[in-house]
């Protein structure tokens, strides 16, 4: 007979989101089990944030150095691809999770290795690699933190072509001579930037009319210009209709009949929730569906079930998932102790309000693109009376000291009725480090007349804040 083991909380998924839920519930004194079928640390640690930034950092540093007097001649050669890939391997701990397991053990949570599935309310089965099944039950909550997987479109020939997904692109052990990237979102542009810099001849195919469609239009325009200058072939308004691999060559046929050959093809065409084999049908939910939650990350209609991170589709970003985990952990602990939540308190510890109004994101291309809050189009669609205030970052004193020939742009979206910022976008070298100031302004709803007294240091790129405010005030 299979033994049933009871915990206060069971967490499905040991990525950074699941780890943070477990840490918060353990800190509150709740016994917690964590179930993981792959590596503790999840997608971000081994196949997304960490390896992608390890690949991108040398590309960006070299680009900046080539625009810096005194360094130009010293950095004209190619990147040492072998060294870059070796550094990437170190950053992902060579795809071993010993360190993450030690950290998780230190929280007092119990780790179960295997495929976790719901088996009715508050009940989880864990099937290990040896086929052994363990049954866990949760007194208070089950938190689903299983994240997402890459989606590859069902094109003719794609199954036999062995295309790359984001995991392959961040973990590859060699530089392909020719790489075809399909998709103009974050994964597509970051991987195009990285592999072009490492020596691939990249062709980037985009179905729409611009890159980074969820950002301000100028973000995609500046990134596309830079990719072309780096040697990439960037094509808008085109779609793949079939993919065929013949030995070492993969051929992508486009909707106009043209054929493009490469050594590898990367599909960066979206994500789907990892809920298809999660047992959702045992609790009346559709397998493979996104899980809809309230601001405490509780799943609608299930008082014991939480969905945290990418799986709830609120904001597919690691930092937002970790933020949600802190909220969900606090909410689970409060409800377990019978403490009522102040669900209507927008500043409370139990409501993930930042998912609605102040989501920050940095795209680590050259130039970087960083944004928080609403774009102009989003603000107008939401019915706000707004004004977009733009400024050329090249006109800021600090930008010319950062690199020669600095190119970039800044925009803030002002709510004209309340005179607060609804969104901010920066594009240019080094702008990722400007983003948190914008996030504070948007999340804190800091009035424009108070921002006027937040004096930026001279001469830094952050002086763009002064110039934006001057432009607004006329």
Rg over alpha carbons for the chain, rounded to the nearest Å, is 24
Which tens digits make up the pLDDT trace of 380-422? 999 999 999 999 999 999 999 999 999 999 999 999 999 999 9
- Tally of domains in the chain: 3
Same domain as 233, residue 180: yes
Same domain as 387, residue 257: no
Same domain as 248, residue 195: yes
Q: Inform me whether the pLDDT recorded for 29 exceeds 50.
A: yes
Q: Are 147 and 317 in contact (CB under 8 A)?
A: no
Same domain as 396, residue 299: no
Calculate the dihedral angle through the C-alpha atoms of 139, 145, 146, 147, rounding to the nearest 10 degrees: 160
Same domain as 184, residue 138: no
Mark which of 354, 379, 395 sits at the end of a domain: 354
Cα→Cα distances 258→82, 178, 240, 460, Å: 34, 17, 10, 47
Which tens digits make up the pLDDT trace of 221-240? 999 999 999 999 999 999 99
Same domain as 257, residue 181: yes
The answer to whether residue 77 sits within a structural domain is no
More confident residue, 357 or 311: 311
Same domain as 285, residue 144: yes
Q: Inform me whether the pLDDT recorded for 137 exceeds 60.
A: yes
The answer to whether residue 82 sits within a structural domain is no
Mark which of 298, 326, 354 sits at the end of a domain: 354
Same domain as 463, residue 379: yes
Same domain as 387, residue 265: no
Longest CA–CA span in the chain (Å) reads 77
Burial class (CB in 10 A: 0-12, 13-18, 19+), 417: exposed
The answer to whether residue 66 sits within a structural domain is no
Q: Are 215 and 231 in contact (CB under 8 A)?
A: no
Same domain as 182, residue 136: no
Residue 362 has what DSSP assignment?
E
For residue 144, the enclosing domain spans 4-41+97-149+273-354
The answer to whether residue 361 sits within a structural domain is no
Nearest CA to 138 among 291, 327, 4?
Answer: 4
Domain with 330 in it: what CATH number? 3.50.50.60
Which tens digits make up the pLDDT trace of 46-74? 999 999 999 999 999 999 999 999 999 99
Task: Return the pLDDT at 45.
Answer: 97
Same domain as 119, residue 160: no
Average pLDDT of the residues in 211-229 = 98
More confident residue, 341 or 436: 436
Task: Return the pLDDT at 2.
Answer: 74
Helix (H, G, I), strand (E, B) or coil at 447: coil
Helix (H, G, I), strand (E, B) or coil at 87: helix
Same domain as 256, residue 291: no
Q: What is the pTM of this model?
A: 0.95
Nearest CA to 309 among 186, 151, 144, 103?
Answer: 144
Task: Return the pLDDT at 338.
Answer: 85
Neighbours of 137 (CB within 10 A): 17
Mark which of 322, 354, 386 sits at the end of a domain: 354
Q: What is the mean pLDDT of the chain?
A: 96
Which tens digits make up the pLDDT trace of 238-286? 999 999 999 999 999 999 999 999 999 999 999 999 999 999 999 999 9
User: Please, what is the angle between helix 318-336 and helix 16-27, to 10°?
Assistant: 30
The answer to whether residue 76 sits within a structural domain is no
- pLDDT bin (cut points 50, 70, 90) of residue 377 is very high
């Amino acid at each position: 007979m299979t033994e049933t083991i009871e915990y206060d909380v069971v967490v499905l998924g040991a990525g950074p989101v699941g780890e943070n839920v477990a840490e918060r519930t353990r800190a509150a004194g709740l016994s917690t089990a964590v179930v993981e079928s792959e590596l503790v640390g999840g997608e971000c640690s081994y196949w997304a944030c960490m390896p992608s930034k390890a690949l991108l950092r040398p590309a960006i540093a070299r680009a900046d150095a080539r625009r810096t007097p005194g360094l130009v001649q010293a950095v004209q050669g190619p990147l040492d691809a072998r060294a870059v890939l070796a550094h990437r391997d170190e950053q992902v701990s060579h795809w071993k999770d010993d360190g993450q397991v030690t950290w998780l053990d230190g929280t007092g949570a119990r780790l179960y290795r295997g495929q976790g599935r719901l088996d009715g309310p508050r009940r989880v089965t864990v099937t290990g690699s040896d086929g052994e099944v363990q049954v866990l039950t949760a007194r208070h909550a089950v938190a689903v933190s299983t994240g997402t997987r890459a989606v590859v479109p069902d094109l003719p020939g794609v199954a036999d072509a062995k295309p790359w997904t984001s995991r392959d692109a961040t973990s590859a052990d060699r530089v392909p001579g020719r790489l075809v990237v399909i998709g103009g979102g974050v994964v597509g542009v970051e991987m195009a930037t990285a592999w072009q810099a490492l020596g691939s001849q990249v062709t980037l195919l985009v179905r729409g009319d611009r890159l980074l469609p969820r950002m301000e239009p100028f973000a995609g325009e500046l990134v596309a210009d830079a990719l072309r200058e780096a040697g990439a072939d960037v094509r808008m308004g085109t779609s793949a209709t079939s993919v065929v691999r013949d030995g070492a060559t993969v051929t992508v046929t486009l909707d106009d009949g043209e054929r493009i050959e490469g050594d590898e093809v990367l599909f960066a065409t979206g994500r789907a929730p990892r809920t298809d084999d999660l047992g959702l049908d045992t609790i009346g939910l559709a397998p493979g569906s996104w899980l809809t939650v309230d601001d405490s990350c509780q799943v609608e209609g299930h008082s014991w079930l939480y969905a945290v991170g990418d799986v709830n589709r609120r904001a597919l970003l690691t930092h937002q998932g970790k933020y949600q985990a802190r909220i969900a952990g606090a909410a689970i602990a409060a409800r377990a102790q019978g403490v009522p939540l102040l669900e209507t308190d927008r500043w409370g510890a139990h409501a993930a309000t930042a998912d609605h109004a102040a989501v920050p994101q940095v795209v680590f291309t050259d130039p970087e693109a960083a944004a928080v809050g609403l774009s102009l189009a989003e603000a107008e669609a939401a019915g706000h009376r707004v004004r977009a205030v733009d400024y050329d970052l090249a006109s800021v004193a600090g930008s010319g000291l950062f690199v020669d020939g600095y190119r970039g742009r800044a925009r803030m979206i002002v709510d004209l009725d309340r005179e607060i910022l609804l969104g901010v976008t920066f594009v240019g070298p080094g702008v990722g480090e400007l983003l948190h100031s914008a996030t504070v302004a948007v999340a804190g709803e800091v009035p424009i007349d108070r921002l006027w007294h937040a004096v930026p240091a001279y001469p830094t790129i952050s002086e763009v804040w002064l110039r934006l405010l001057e432009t607004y005030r006329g």
